[in-house]
Amino acid sequence: MAEPVEGRRSSAGRDEEAVRRFVERFALDLVAAGVPRMAARIFAAILVAEEGRRDAAELAESLRVSPAAVSGAVRYLTHRGLVAREREPGARRDHYRVHGDMWYQTVAHQDALLRQWERTLLDGIEAVGADSRAAGRLDETREFFEFFRLEMPALMERWRGRQAGRERTSGQGRAPSDPDERP
């Protein structure tokens, strides 16, 4: 793979150096949210792949990391359901792809986790004494998780409707909006 040159754009308008900077920036955002650094870099690199997938050698080369680092990161990402491993019939290499509805699936499957946290927090309230200030903090946390869990189905339904509308209008040049300019 040839080294990208600052400002060089592909025929599709892709600036490889800007893409490289984006991968590192988005990876840092994911790290701030708790994703391990290498997994975050791998995820971002797959996300920006024009074909929507990359193999381990492509990831190692583009990120300038060892194959072992790629292996550990994709193991983490596949275990978390953020990427899928696939192999074409007769091919020798695995490719890694970001699930099309990965964010939906990630959030939608939090119900069991949220219920577990609620149960654990109830145990904590009992442990610290229901009339204590600590119990108040624990209960507020439990109430937040309960609220989030109960609101999630309606939110996910709204997301599906939005995605359906997007599919109907895809290719019509709708530019993404700046999150700082929306409520």
Task: Express each pLDDT in 52-80 by its tens digit.
Answer: 899 999 999 999 999 999 999 999 999 88
Single pTM value for the model: 0.69
- Gap between the Cα atoms of 68 and 39, Å rounded: 12
Q: Is the pLDDT confidence value at 3 over 50?
A: no
Q: What are phi and psi of 54, to 5 degrees?
A: -145, 150
CATH number corresponding to 16-99? 1.10.10.10
- Gap between the Cα atoms of 142 and 150, Å rounded: 12
Task: Express each pLDDT in 120-143 by its tens digit.
Answer: 999 999 999 999 999 999 999 999
- Gap between the Cα atoms of 78 and 99, Å rounded: 10
> What are the structural domain ranges in the chain?
16-99, 104-170
Q: Closest Cα partner for 26 from 45, 7, 53? A: 45
Higher pLDDT, 51 or 29: 29
Q: pLDDT at position 131, please?
A: 94
Number of Cβ within 10 Å of residue 54's Cβ equals 26
- Gap between the Cα atoms of 144 and 148, Å rounded: 6
Task: Express each pLDDT in 80-121 by its tens digit.
Answer: 888 999 888 887 889 999 877 777 777 777 888 899 999 999
Give every CB contact of residue 27 below 8 A, 6+ residues apart in sequence: 37, 40, 41, 43, 44
Min mean pLDDT across 25-29, 68-72, 111-115, 176-180 is at 176-180
